[in-house]
Structure 1
Amino acid sequence: MKKWFLPVLIGIILLISGCSSQSTEKKESSNQTITYQSENGAVKVPAHPKRVVVLASLAGNVMSLNVPIVGVDAWSKDNPKFKDKLKNAEVVSDENLEKIIDLNPDLIIGLSNTKNIDKLKKIAPTVTYTYGKVDYLQQHIEIGKLLNKEKEAVDWVNDFKKRAEADGKEIKAKIGDKATISVVESFEKQLYVFGSNWGRGTEVLYQAMKLPMPEKVKEKALKAGYYAISPEVLPEYAGDYLVLSKNADSKASFEETNTFKNSPAVKNKHLIVVNSKEFYFNDPITLDYQLETLKKGLLGN
Protein backbone atom coordinates (compact mmCIF):
# COMPACT_ATOMS: atom_id res chain seq x y z
CA MET A 1 0.00 0.00 0.00
CA LYS A 2 1.39 3.36 -0.96
CA LYS A 3 2.29 5.62 1.97
CA TRP A 4 0.02 8.44 0.82
CA PHE A 5 -3.06 6.20 0.74
CA LEU A 6 -3.15 5.31 4.47
CA PRO A 7 -3.72 8.91 5.78
CA VAL A 8 -6.40 9.44 3.11
CA LEU A 9 -8.15 6.21 4.11
CA ILE A 10 -8.06 7.20 7.79
CA GLY A 11 -9.48 10.63 6.90
CA ILE A 12 -12.36 9.06 4.96
CA ILE A 13 -13.17 6.71 7.87
CA LEU A 14 -13.15 9.61 10.36
CA LEU A 15 -15.38 11.68 8.06
CA ILE A 16 -17.91 8.86 7.69
CA SER A 17 -17.80 8.23 11.43
CA GLY A 18 -18.38 11.92 12.14
CA CYS A 19 -21.33 12.15 9.77
CA SER A 20 -22.84 9.03 11.29
CA SER A 21 -22.40 10.47 14.78
CA GLN A 22 -24.01 13.78 13.78
CA SER A 23 -26.92 11.94 12.18
CA THR A 24 -27.45 9.91 15.35
CA GLU A 25 -27.26 13.02 17.50
CA LYS A 26 -29.87 14.80 15.33
CA LYS A 27 -32.16 11.78 15.52
CA GLU A 28 -31.80 11.56 19.28
CA SER A 29 -32.45 15.30 19.57
CA SER A 30 -35.63 15.07 17.49
CA ASN A 31 -36.88 12.20 19.68
CA GLN A 32 -36.01 13.90 22.96
CA THR A 33 -38.88 14.61 25.34
CA ILE A 34 -39.48 16.59 28.52
CA THR A 35 -42.15 16.18 31.17
CA TYR A 36 -44.48 19.14 31.51
CA GLN A 37 -46.56 19.49 34.66
CA SER A 38 -49.91 20.53 33.22
CA GLU A 39 -52.99 21.41 35.27
CA ASN A 40 -54.22 17.87 34.56
CA GLY A 41 -50.97 16.11 35.48
CA ALA A 42 -47.62 15.24 33.94
CA VAL A 43 -47.44 15.04 30.14
CA LYS A 44 -44.48 13.92 28.04
CA VAL A 45 -43.98 16.39 25.21
CA PRO A 46 -41.28 16.98 22.55
CA ALA A 47 -38.28 18.90 23.86
CA HIS A 48 -38.14 20.75 20.54
CA PRO A 49 -41.61 20.67 18.92
CA LYS A 50 -41.65 21.31 15.19
CA ARG A 51 -45.30 20.83 14.22
CA VAL A 52 -47.66 22.39 16.75
CA VAL A 53 -51.45 22.59 16.44
CA VAL A 54 -53.05 25.35 18.55
CA LEU A 55 -56.80 25.05 19.10
CA ALA A 56 -57.15 28.10 21.32
CA SER A 57 -56.23 31.74 21.74
CA LEU A 58 -52.59 30.89 22.48
CA ALA A 59 -51.08 30.96 19.00
CA GLY A 60 -49.35 34.29 19.65
CA ASN A 61 -47.60 32.86 22.70
CA VAL A 62 -46.25 29.96 20.65
CA MET A 63 -45.20 32.17 17.72
CA SER A 64 -43.45 34.67 19.98
CA LEU A 65 -41.19 31.84 21.12
CA ASN A 66 -40.37 30.97 17.48
CA VAL A 67 -42.00 27.54 17.53
CA PRO A 68 -43.58 26.43 14.21
CA ILE A 69 -47.37 26.15 14.02
CA VAL A 70 -48.97 23.90 11.38
CA GLY A 71 -52.61 24.19 12.50
CA VAL A 72 -54.45 27.03 14.21
CA ASP A 73 -57.91 28.27 15.22
CA ALA A 74 -59.83 30.51 12.81
CA TRP A 75 -59.70 33.62 15.02
CA SER A 76 -55.92 33.53 15.19
CA LYS A 77 -55.61 32.91 11.47
CA ASP A 78 -57.81 35.97 10.87
CA ASN A 79 -55.55 38.26 12.92
CA PRO A 80 -53.69 40.65 10.57
CA LYS A 81 -50.76 40.80 13.03
CA PHE A 82 -50.31 37.02 12.74
CA LYS A 83 -50.63 36.89 8.96
CA ASP A 84 -46.97 36.37 8.02
CA LYS A 85 -46.16 33.81 10.70
CA LEU A 86 -49.33 31.81 10.05
CA LYS A 87 -49.37 32.00 6.25
CA ASN A 88 -48.62 28.27 5.92
CA ALA A 89 -50.75 27.12 8.86
CA GLU A 90 -54.06 25.35 8.23
CA VAL A 91 -57.27 26.43 9.97
CA VAL A 92 -58.47 23.60 12.21
CA SER A 93 -60.90 23.09 15.08
CA ASP A 94 -61.35 20.46 17.77
CA GLU A 95 -63.84 18.73 15.46
CA ASN A 96 -61.45 18.49 12.46
CA LEU A 97 -59.75 15.32 13.69
CA GLU A 98 -58.92 13.95 10.22
CA LYS A 99 -57.41 17.27 9.17
CA ILE A 100 -55.34 17.38 12.36
CA ILE A 101 -54.12 13.83 11.71
CA ASP A 102 -53.06 14.87 8.19
CA LEU A 103 -50.98 17.70 9.68
CA ASN A 104 -48.97 15.12 11.66
CA PRO A 105 -48.52 17.34 14.76
CA ASP A 106 -46.01 16.55 17.46
CA LEU A 107 -47.87 18.69 20.02
CA ILE A 108 -51.47 19.94 20.42
CA ILE A 109 -52.42 22.89 22.63
CA GLY A 110 -56.00 23.78 23.60
CA LEU A 111 -58.25 25.11 26.32
CA SER A 112 -59.94 23.04 29.01
CA ASN A 113 -63.25 23.23 27.13
CA THR A 114 -61.74 21.81 23.94
CA LYS A 115 -63.82 18.97 22.51
CA ASN A 116 -62.50 15.46 21.71
CA ILE A 117 -59.52 15.78 24.05
CA ASP A 118 -59.20 11.99 24.50
CA LYS A 119 -59.11 11.54 20.71
CA LEU A 120 -56.62 14.37 20.29
CA LYS A 121 -54.30 12.73 22.82
CA LYS A 122 -54.12 9.69 20.54
CA ILE A 123 -52.88 11.91 17.70
CA ALA A 124 -50.15 13.74 19.64
CA PRO A 125 -49.30 14.86 23.19
CA THR A 126 -52.10 17.27 24.14
CA VAL A 127 -51.99 19.99 26.79
CA THR A 128 -54.94 22.19 27.75
CA TYR A 129 -55.29 25.30 29.90
CA THR A 130 -58.22 26.82 31.77
CA TYR A 131 -58.59 30.41 30.61
CA GLY A 132 -57.98 32.80 33.50
CA LYS A 133 -56.70 30.16 35.93
CA VAL A 134 -53.41 32.06 35.95
CA ASP A 135 -52.85 35.65 34.87
CA TYR A 136 -51.88 36.52 31.32
CA LEU A 137 -48.14 36.84 32.07
CA GLN A 138 -47.93 33.58 34.00
CA GLN A 139 -49.83 31.97 31.13
CA HIS A 140 -47.01 32.92 28.78
CA ILE A 141 -44.45 31.49 31.19
CA GLU A 142 -46.46 28.25 31.28
CA ILE A 143 -46.36 28.09 27.48
CA GLY A 144 -42.62 28.71 27.73
CA LYS A 145 -42.25 25.74 30.08
CA LEU A 146 -44.31 23.56 27.75
CA LEU A 147 -42.15 24.48 24.76
CA ASN A 148 -38.88 24.12 26.71
CA LYS A 149 -38.33 27.88 26.43
CA GLU A 150 -39.04 29.07 29.94
CA LYS A 151 -36.09 31.47 30.08
CA GLU A 152 -37.15 33.25 26.90
CA ALA A 153 -40.70 33.57 28.25
CA VAL A 154 -39.57 34.92 31.63
CA ASP A 155 -37.20 37.41 29.97
CA TRP A 156 -40.02 38.79 27.83
CA VAL A 157 -42.39 39.05 30.82
CA ASN A 158 -39.84 40.98 32.88
CA ASP A 159 -39.09 43.34 30.00
CA PHE A 160 -42.77 43.93 29.25
CA LYS A 161 -43.56 44.75 32.88
CA LYS A 162 -40.79 47.34 32.99
CA ARG A 163 -41.87 48.98 29.73
CA ALA A 164 -45.56 49.02 30.64
CA GLU A 165 -44.92 50.44 34.10
CA ALA A 166 -42.80 53.25 32.64
CA ASP A 167 -45.44 53.99 30.00
CA GLY A 168 -48.18 54.03 32.64
CA LYS A 169 -46.31 56.63 34.70
CA GLU A 170 -45.77 58.78 31.61
CA ILE A 171 -49.45 58.57 30.69
CA LYS A 172 -50.64 59.46 34.20
CA ALA A 173 -48.29 62.44 34.22
CA LYS A 174 -49.95 63.63 30.99
CA ILE A 175 -53.66 62.90 31.55
CA GLY A 176 -53.77 62.81 35.36
CA ASP A 177 -53.69 59.81 37.67
CA LYS A 178 -57.47 59.92 38.22
CA ALA A 179 -58.50 59.96 34.54
CA THR A 180 -60.55 56.84 33.82
CA ILE A 181 -60.60 54.73 30.68
CA SER A 182 -63.14 52.24 29.32
CA VAL A 183 -62.82 49.52 26.72
CA VAL A 184 -65.92 48.71 24.66
CA GLU A 185 -66.43 46.49 21.66
CA SER A 186 -69.11 46.27 19.03
CA PHE A 187 -69.71 42.63 18.11
CA GLU A 188 -72.63 41.25 16.11
CA LYS A 189 -74.92 44.23 16.87
CA GLN A 190 -74.16 44.01 20.58
CA LEU A 191 -72.05 46.36 22.66
CA TYR A 192 -69.76 45.04 25.40
CA VAL A 193 -67.71 46.71 28.10
CA PHE A 194 -64.69 44.86 29.48
CA GLY A 195 -62.97 44.30 32.80
CA SER A 196 -59.25 43.82 33.35
CA ASN A 197 -58.54 40.37 31.87
CA TRP A 198 -60.41 39.85 28.63
CA GLY A 199 -57.94 40.92 25.96
CA ARG A 200 -58.77 44.03 23.89
CA GLY A 201 -55.95 45.87 25.68
CA THR A 202 -57.54 45.48 29.13
CA GLU A 203 -54.52 43.74 30.65
CA VAL A 204 -52.24 46.50 29.35
CA LEU A 205 -54.41 49.36 30.61
CA TYR A 206 -55.61 48.09 33.95
CA GLN A 207 -53.01 45.57 35.07
CA ALA A 208 -49.72 46.57 33.47
CA MET A 209 -50.12 50.36 33.32
CA LYS A 210 -52.48 50.49 36.33
CA LEU A 211 -54.86 53.05 34.82
CA PRO A 212 -58.25 53.44 36.57
CA MET A 213 -61.51 52.06 35.18
CA PRO A 214 -64.87 53.74 35.83
CA GLU A 215 -66.73 52.52 38.92
CA LYS A 216 -69.69 51.30 36.84
CA VAL A 217 -67.39 49.12 34.73
CA LYS A 218 -65.72 47.80 37.86
CA GLU A 219 -69.11 46.94 39.32
CA LYS A 220 -70.46 45.08 36.29
CA ALA A 221 -67.53 43.74 34.28
CA LEU A 222 -64.53 43.27 36.57
CA LYS A 223 -65.49 39.87 37.94
CA ALA A 224 -67.10 38.37 34.83
CA GLY A 225 -64.58 39.90 32.41
CA TYR A 226 -67.19 41.51 30.17
CA TYR A 227 -70.72 42.89 30.34
CA ALA A 228 -73.29 43.48 27.59
CA ILE A 229 -74.83 46.95 27.46
CA SER A 230 -77.16 48.87 25.19
CA PRO A 231 -75.85 51.94 23.32
CA GLU A 232 -78.27 54.13 25.29
CA VAL A 233 -76.46 53.49 28.59
CA LEU A 234 -72.93 53.84 27.20
CA PRO A 235 -72.37 57.22 28.93
CA GLU A 236 -72.77 55.44 32.29
CA TYR A 237 -69.82 53.18 31.46
CA ALA A 238 -67.64 55.50 29.40
CA GLY A 239 -64.56 56.87 31.11
CA ASP A 240 -62.67 60.07 30.43
CA TYR A 241 -61.00 58.08 27.65
CA LEU A 242 -62.68 55.44 25.53
CA VAL A 243 -61.12 52.58 23.58
CA LEU A 244 -63.50 51.32 20.89
CA SER A 245 -62.63 47.91 19.53
CA LYS A 246 -64.49 47.10 16.31
CA ASN A 247 -64.29 45.39 12.97
CA ALA A 248 -62.24 47.68 10.73
CA ASP A 249 -64.38 46.70 7.73
CA SER A 250 -67.63 48.14 9.07
CA LYS A 251 -69.12 51.08 10.97
CA ALA A 252 -71.20 50.29 14.04
CA SER A 253 -74.64 51.92 13.93
CA PHE A 254 -74.37 53.26 17.48
CA GLU A 255 -71.49 55.50 16.36
CA GLU A 256 -74.06 57.61 14.51
CA THR A 257 -76.20 58.22 17.60
CA ASN A 258 -76.17 61.47 19.55
CA THR A 259 -75.59 59.47 22.72
CA PHE A 260 -72.24 58.34 21.38
CA LYS A 261 -71.28 61.59 19.66
CA ASN A 262 -72.07 63.66 22.74
CA SER A 263 -70.27 61.46 25.24
CA PRO A 264 -67.40 63.41 26.90
CA ALA A 265 -64.66 61.08 25.61
CA VAL A 266 -65.80 61.51 22.00
CA LYS A 267 -66.42 65.26 22.27
CA ASN A 268 -63.02 65.78 23.89
CA LYS A 269 -61.32 63.68 21.20
CA HIS A 270 -60.33 61.08 23.76
CA LEU A 271 -61.57 58.22 21.57
CA ILE A 272 -59.10 55.51 20.49
CA VAL A 273 -60.46 53.24 17.74
CA VAL A 274 -58.72 49.89 17.26
CA ASN A 275 -59.17 46.90 14.96
CA SER A 276 -60.81 44.18 17.04
CA LYS A 277 -59.12 41.43 15.02
CA GLU A 278 -55.73 42.78 16.12
CA PHE A 279 -56.77 43.43 19.72
CA TYR A 280 -58.59 40.22 20.78
CA PHE A 281 -55.76 38.39 22.50
CA ASN A 282 -53.22 38.87 25.30
CA ASP A 283 -50.13 37.11 23.96
CA PRO A 284 -46.72 38.85 23.64
CA ILE A 285 -47.15 39.80 19.98
CA THR A 286 -50.55 41.34 20.67
CA LEU A 287 -49.54 42.90 24.00
CA ASP A 288 -46.57 44.67 22.46
CA TYR A 289 -48.81 46.06 19.73
CA GLN A 290 -51.50 47.07 22.22
CA LEU A 291 -48.95 48.82 24.43
CA GLU A 292 -47.58 50.82 21.51
CA THR A 293 -51.06 51.70 20.16
CA LEU A 294 -52.58 52.69 23.50
CA LYS A 295 -49.56 54.73 24.52
CA LYS A 296 -49.77 56.75 21.31
CA GLY A 297 -53.52 57.17 21.67
CA LEU A 298 -53.40 58.33 25.26
CA LEU A 299 -50.42 60.62 24.84
CA GLY A 300 -51.71 62.07 21.59
CA ASN A 301 -48.51 61.16 19.71
Structure 2
Amino acid sequence: MGRWRTVLAWALVAPFLMWTVLRLSGLDAGFRWIQLVSFTPYVAGAAFAAPVAALLLRRRAAAVAGLAAALVLGGLLVPRVLEEGQPAAKGPVLRVLSANLRFGLTPPDRLLALARETRADVLSVQELPPGTRQKLEEKGVLELFPHTANGTHDTTLYSRHPFQAGEAPSGAVRATLDVPGAAQPVEFVAVHTCAPLHPGLGGCWRDSQSELPAATPQGTPRILAGDFNATLDHASLRGVLSTGYRDAAEVRGSGLRATWPASGWSFPGIVIDHVFADRRIAVLDYAVHDLPGSDHRAVSAELRLP
Protein backbone atom coordinates (compact mmCIF):
# COMPACT_ATOMS: atom_id res chain seq x y z
CA MET A 1 0.00 0.00 0.00
CA GLY A 2 2.85 2.39 0.87
CA ARG A 3 4.52 1.83 -2.46
CA TRP A 4 1.33 2.65 -4.36
CA ARG A 5 0.93 5.84 -2.34
CA THR A 6 4.44 6.85 -3.37
CA VAL A 7 3.82 6.06 -7.05
CA LEU A 8 0.53 7.95 -7.04
CA ALA A 9 1.98 10.99 -5.29
CA TRP A 10 4.84 11.31 -7.76
CA ALA A 11 2.52 10.64 -10.70
CA LEU A 12 0.48 13.65 -9.61
CA VAL A 13 3.52 15.89 -9.10
CA ALA A 14 5.67 14.83 -12.07
CA PRO A 15 3.67 16.58 -14.86
CA PHE A 16 3.98 19.92 -13.08
CA LEU A 17 7.70 19.39 -12.51
CA MET A 18 8.18 18.62 -16.19
CA TRP A 19 6.12 21.65 -17.22
CA THR A 20 8.20 23.89 -14.94
CA VAL A 21 11.48 22.61 -16.35
CA LEU A 22 10.33 23.10 -19.94
CA ARG A 23 8.96 26.56 -19.21
CA LEU A 24 12.23 27.62 -17.56
CA SER A 25 14.35 26.07 -20.30
CA GLY A 26 13.83 29.05 -22.59
CA LEU A 27 12.99 26.79 -25.53
CA ASP A 28 9.88 26.79 -27.69
CA ALA A 29 10.55 23.12 -28.29
CA GLY A 30 8.26 21.23 -30.62
CA PHE A 31 4.93 22.08 -32.19
CA ARG A 32 2.74 20.76 -29.36
CA TRP A 33 4.75 22.62 -26.74
CA ILE A 34 4.31 25.86 -28.70
CA GLN A 35 0.57 25.36 -28.29
CA LEU A 36 0.54 23.95 -24.76
CA VAL A 37 2.84 26.49 -23.10
CA SER A 38 0.23 29.18 -23.82
CA PHE A 39 -1.89 27.65 -21.06
CA THR A 40 0.78 28.02 -18.36
CA PRO A 41 -1.42 30.35 -16.24
CA TYR A 42 -4.03 27.60 -15.92
CA VAL A 43 -1.39 24.96 -15.19
CA ALA A 44 0.07 27.24 -12.50
CA GLY A 45 -3.32 27.40 -10.78
CA ALA A 46 -3.81 23.64 -10.96
CA ALA A 47 -0.24 22.98 -9.77
CA PHE A 48 -1.10 23.86 -6.16
CA ALA A 49 -3.44 20.87 -5.96
CA ALA A 50 -0.56 18.40 -6.50
CA PRO A 51 1.35 19.07 -3.24
CA VAL A 52 -1.91 19.00 -1.30
CA ALA A 53 -2.70 15.59 -2.75
CA ALA A 54 0.82 14.39 -1.96
CA LEU A 55 0.43 15.51 1.65
CA LEU A 56 -2.85 13.65 1.92
CA LEU A 57 -0.99 10.59 0.67
CA ARG A 58 1.66 11.27 3.35
CA ARG A 59 4.50 11.59 0.88
CA ARG A 60 6.52 14.57 2.06
CA ALA A 61 9.21 14.57 -0.64
CA ALA A 62 6.64 14.61 -3.43
CA ALA A 63 4.72 17.36 -1.62
CA VAL A 64 7.83 19.53 -1.32
CA ALA A 65 8.72 19.04 -4.99
CA GLY A 66 5.17 19.79 -6.05
CA LEU A 67 5.03 22.93 -3.94
CA ALA A 68 8.32 24.14 -5.41
CA ALA A 69 6.97 23.70 -8.95
CA ALA A 70 3.73 25.47 -8.06
CA LEU A 71 5.55 28.41 -6.50
CA VAL A 72 7.86 28.79 -9.49
CA LEU A 73 4.98 28.71 -11.98
CA GLY A 74 2.96 31.09 -9.84
CA GLY A 75 5.94 33.42 -9.52
CA LEU A 76 6.19 33.69 -13.30
CA LEU A 77 2.69 35.17 -13.36
CA VAL A 78 3.04 37.71 -10.56
CA PRO A 79 4.49 40.50 -12.77
CA ARG A 80 1.46 40.22 -15.04
CA VAL A 81 -0.99 41.18 -12.30
CA LEU A 82 1.01 43.88 -10.52
CA GLU A 83 1.23 47.37 -11.98
CA GLU A 84 4.70 48.62 -12.84
CA GLY A 85 6.23 52.04 -12.34
CA GLN A 86 6.27 54.49 -15.21
CA PRO A 87 9.11 56.37 -16.92
CA ALA A 88 9.11 60.16 -16.69
CA ALA A 89 7.64 60.62 -20.17
CA LYS A 90 6.45 64.18 -20.85
CA GLY A 91 5.52 64.01 -24.54
CA PRO A 92 2.11 63.85 -26.24
CA VAL A 93 -0.38 61.01 -25.73
CA LEU A 94 -0.77 58.39 -28.47
CA ARG A 95 -3.82 56.11 -28.29
CA VAL A 96 -3.42 52.71 -29.96
CA LEU A 97 -6.13 50.23 -30.94
CA SER A 98 -5.53 46.75 -32.38
CA ALA A 99 -8.28 44.52 -33.77
CA ASN A 100 -8.35 41.16 -35.56
CA LEU A 101 -11.57 41.06 -37.63
CA ARG A 102 -11.60 37.30 -38.32
CA PHE A 103 -11.41 37.74 -42.08
CA GLY A 104 -13.92 40.55 -42.11
CA LEU A 105 -16.66 39.02 -39.94
CA THR A 106 -16.66 42.00 -37.59
CA PRO A 107 -19.13 44.63 -38.90
CA PRO A 108 -17.18 47.73 -40.04
CA ASP A 109 -19.45 50.10 -38.13
CA ARG A 110 -18.71 48.28 -34.86
CA LEU A 111 -14.97 48.69 -35.40
CA LEU A 112 -15.43 52.38 -36.14
CA ALA A 113 -17.57 52.78 -33.02
CA LEU A 114 -14.80 51.23 -30.94
CA ALA A 115 -12.20 53.47 -32.59
CA ARG A 116 -14.29 56.52 -31.64
CA GLU A 117 -14.90 55.20 -28.12
CA THR A 118 -11.19 54.70 -27.48
CA ARG A 119 -10.27 57.94 -29.34
CA ALA A 120 -7.63 55.93 -31.19
CA ASP A 121 -4.87 57.76 -33.03
CA VAL A 122 -3.45 54.61 -34.60
CA LEU A 123 -5.42 51.53 -35.63
CA SER A 124 -3.75 48.17 -36.34
CA VAL A 125 -6.17 45.84 -38.14
CA GLN A 126 -5.54 42.17 -38.90
CA GLU A 127 -7.50 39.80 -41.13
CA LEU A 128 -9.02 42.68 -43.07
CA PRO A 129 -9.70 41.35 -46.60
CA PRO A 130 -10.01 43.83 -49.50
CA GLY A 131 -13.82 43.60 -49.61
CA THR A 132 -14.19 44.50 -45.95
CA ARG A 133 -11.58 47.21 -46.29
CA GLN A 134 -13.69 48.80 -49.00
CA LYS A 135 -16.79 48.63 -46.78
CA LEU A 136 -14.80 50.17 -43.94
CA GLU A 137 -13.80 53.05 -46.18
CA GLU A 138 -17.41 53.49 -47.30
CA LYS A 139 -18.36 53.79 -43.61
CA GLY A 140 -15.86 56.62 -43.17
CA VAL A 141 -12.68 55.12 -41.73
CA LEU A 142 -10.55 57.53 -43.77
CA GLU A 143 -12.33 60.47 -42.18
CA LEU A 144 -11.05 59.28 -38.80
CA PHE A 145 -7.72 57.97 -40.07
CA PRO A 146 -6.72 59.74 -43.29
CA HIS A 147 -3.34 58.00 -43.51
CA THR A 148 -3.22 54.29 -44.30
CA ALA A 149 -0.95 51.51 -45.56
CA ASN A 150 -1.59 47.85 -46.36
CA GLY A 151 0.67 44.91 -45.61
CA THR A 152 0.61 41.21 -46.35
CA HIS A 153 -1.75 38.73 -44.67
CA ASP A 154 -4.57 41.33 -44.81
CA THR A 155 -2.91 43.60 -42.24
CA THR A 156 -3.67 47.32 -42.49
CA LEU A 157 -2.47 50.37 -40.58
CA TYR A 158 -4.66 53.46 -40.17
CA SER A 159 -3.42 56.66 -38.56
CA ARG A 160 -4.65 60.15 -37.72
CA HIS A 161 -1.06 61.35 -38.06
CA PRO A 162 0.98 61.35 -41.27
CA PHE A 163 3.63 58.68 -41.62
CA GLN A 164 6.24 57.21 -43.90
CA ALA A 165 5.84 53.49 -44.55
CA GLY A 166 8.95 51.34 -44.38
CA GLU A 167 10.05 47.79 -45.08
CA ALA A 168 8.24 45.38 -42.77
CA PRO A 169 8.31 41.67 -41.89
CA SER A 170 5.73 39.41 -43.50
CA GLY A 171 2.26 40.06 -42.12
CA ALA A 172 3.18 43.48 -40.75
CA VAL A 173 2.99 47.16 -41.65
CA ARG A 174 5.83 49.38 -40.49
CA ALA A 175 5.62 53.16 -40.43
CA THR A 176 7.36 56.19 -38.91
CA LEU A 177 4.72 58.49 -37.43
CA ASP A 178 5.00 62.26 -37.23
CA VAL A 179 3.14 62.90 -33.96
CA PRO A 180 2.50 66.59 -33.20
CA GLY A 181 4.40 67.73 -30.12
CA ALA A 182 6.68 64.69 -30.01
CA ALA A 183 10.39 65.29 -29.59
CA GLN A 184 11.14 62.84 -32.39
CA PRO A 185 9.30 60.55 -34.83
CA VAL A 186 7.82 57.31 -33.50
CA GLU A 187 7.98 54.00 -35.30
CA PHE A 188 4.82 51.88 -35.23
CA VAL A 189 4.52 48.28 -36.41
CA ALA A 190 1.13 46.66 -37.00
CA VAL A 191 1.82 42.98 -36.26
CA HIS A 192 0.24 39.75 -37.47
CA THR A 193 2.58 36.79 -37.10
CA CYS A 194 2.06 33.26 -38.36
CA ALA A 195 -0.33 31.13 -36.26
CA PRO A 196 0.90 27.65 -35.13
CA LEU A 197 -2.31 25.88 -36.16
CA HIS A 198 -0.69 22.65 -37.34
CA PRO A 199 2.83 21.13 -37.42
CA GLY A 200 3.57 22.46 -40.89
CA LEU A 201 3.34 26.02 -39.55
CA GLY A 202 5.79 25.56 -36.70
CA GLY A 203 8.69 26.90 -38.75
CA CYS A 204 6.63 29.81 -40.07
CA TRP A 205 5.65 30.70 -36.48
CA ARG A 206 9.27 30.68 -35.30
CA ASP A 207 10.44 32.74 -38.26
CA SER A 208 7.72 35.36 -37.89
CA GLN A 209 8.47 35.73 -34.18
CA SER A 210 12.18 36.15 -34.85
CA GLU A 211 11.46 38.81 -37.50
CA LEU A 212 9.69 41.12 -35.05
CA PRO A 213 11.86 44.25 -34.81
CA ALA A 214 13.82 44.74 -31.61
CA ALA A 215 13.41 47.85 -29.53
CA THR A 216 15.95 50.64 -29.99
CA PRO A 217 16.20 52.16 -26.49
CA GLN A 218 18.83 54.70 -27.60
CA GLY A 219 17.16 55.51 -30.91
CA THR A 220 13.69 56.00 -32.35
CA PRO A 221 10.91 54.96 -29.93
CA ARG A 222 9.07 51.94 -31.31
CA ILE A 223 5.63 50.44 -30.68
CA LEU A 224 4.40 47.01 -31.78
CA ALA A 225 0.67 46.26 -31.75
CA GLY A 226 -1.40 43.43 -33.13
CA ASP A 227 -2.00 39.70 -33.16
CA PHE A 228 1.32 38.11 -32.17
CA ASN A 229 -0.06 34.55 -31.98
CA ALA A 230 2.19 34.12 -28.94
CA THR A 231 1.96 34.64 -25.20
CA LEU A 232 4.48 35.85 -22.66
CA ASP A 233 5.14 32.18 -21.87
CA HIS A 234 6.78 31.75 -25.29
CA ALA A 235 10.53 32.24 -25.13
CA SER A 236 10.57 33.84 -28.59
CA LEU A 237 8.20 36.61 -27.54
CA ARG A 238 9.99 37.17 -24.25
CA GLY A 239 13.16 37.58 -26.30
CA VAL A 240 11.56 40.40 -28.29
CA LEU A 241 10.28 42.00 -25.07
CA SER A 242 13.74 41.85 -23.48
CA THR A 243 15.27 44.08 -26.17
CA GLY A 244 13.70 47.12 -24.51
CA TYR A 245 9.91 46.85 -24.73
CA ARG A 246 7.27 46.64 -22.04
CA ASP A 247 3.98 44.84 -22.52
CA ALA A 248 1.19 47.40 -21.96
CA ALA A 249 -1.11 44.81 -20.35
CA GLU A 250 1.58 43.69 -17.93
CA VAL A 251 2.49 47.28 -17.03
CA ARG A 252 -1.11 47.97 -16.04
CA GLY A 253 -1.56 44.68 -14.16
CA SER A 254 -3.87 43.20 -16.80
CA GLY A 255 -1.48 40.63 -18.21
CA LEU A 256 -3.89 37.72 -17.69
CA ARG A 257 -6.86 39.30 -19.51
CA ALA A 258 -7.48 36.80 -22.31
CA THR A 259 -7.76 38.11 -25.87
CA TRP A 260 -8.38 34.82 -27.71
CA PRO A 261 -10.68 33.02 -28.17
CA ALA A 262 -13.55 35.40 -27.56
CA SER A 263 -16.66 34.46 -25.57
CA GLY A 264 -18.65 31.49 -26.82
CA TRP A 265 -15.65 29.22 -27.38
CA SER A 266 -15.23 26.05 -25.39
CA PHE A 267 -11.61 26.20 -24.21
CA PRO A 268 -9.76 28.62 -21.91
CA GLY A 269 -8.66 31.99 -23.21
CA ILE A 270 -5.05 33.05 -23.69
CA VAL A 271 -3.30 36.37 -24.32
CA ILE A 272 -1.96 36.58 -27.88
CA ASP A 273 -2.86 40.17 -28.80
CA HIS A 274 -0.41 42.71 -27.41
CA VAL A 275 0.81 46.27 -27.39
CA PHE A 276 4.57 46.44 -26.85
CA ALA A 277 5.96 49.91 -26.14
CA ASP A 278 9.51 51.19 -25.85
CA ARG A 279 10.47 51.29 -22.16
CA ARG A 280 10.79 55.10 -22.40
CA ILE A 281 7.05 55.30 -23.15
CA ALA A 282 4.58 55.53 -20.25
CA VAL A 283 1.50 53.29 -20.37
CA LEU A 284 -1.34 55.40 -19.00
CA ASP A 285 -4.14 52.93 -19.71
CA TYR A 286 -4.84 49.51 -21.21
CA ALA A 287 -8.12 47.76 -21.99
CA VAL A 288 -9.56 44.68 -23.69
CA HIS A 289 -12.75 45.04 -25.77
CA ASP A 290 -15.28 42.58 -27.15
CA LEU A 291 -15.38 42.58 -30.94
CA PRO A 292 -18.60 41.22 -32.50
CA GLY A 293 -17.99 38.56 -35.13
CA SER A 294 -14.34 38.05 -34.24
CA ASP A 295 -12.66 35.22 -32.35
CA HIS A 296 -10.30 37.84 -30.88
CA ARG A 297 -10.87 40.68 -28.46
CA ALA A 298 -9.51 44.06 -29.42
CA VAL A 299 -6.85 45.69 -27.23
CA SER A 300 -6.22 49.38 -26.69
CA ALA A 301 -3.51 51.34 -24.92
CA GLU A 302 -3.02 54.98 -24.05
CA LEU A 303 0.66 55.84 -24.26
CA ARG A 304 2.64 58.96 -23.35
CA LEU A 305 5.65 59.43 -25.58
CA PRO A 306 9.07 60.48 -24.28
* Bigger proportion of residues as helix: 1
Q: Report the TM-score, using the length of structure 1 for normalisation.
A: 0.35
Q: Report the TM-score, using the length of structure 2 for normalisation.
A: 0.34
Which one has a bigger Cα radius of gyration? Answer: 1
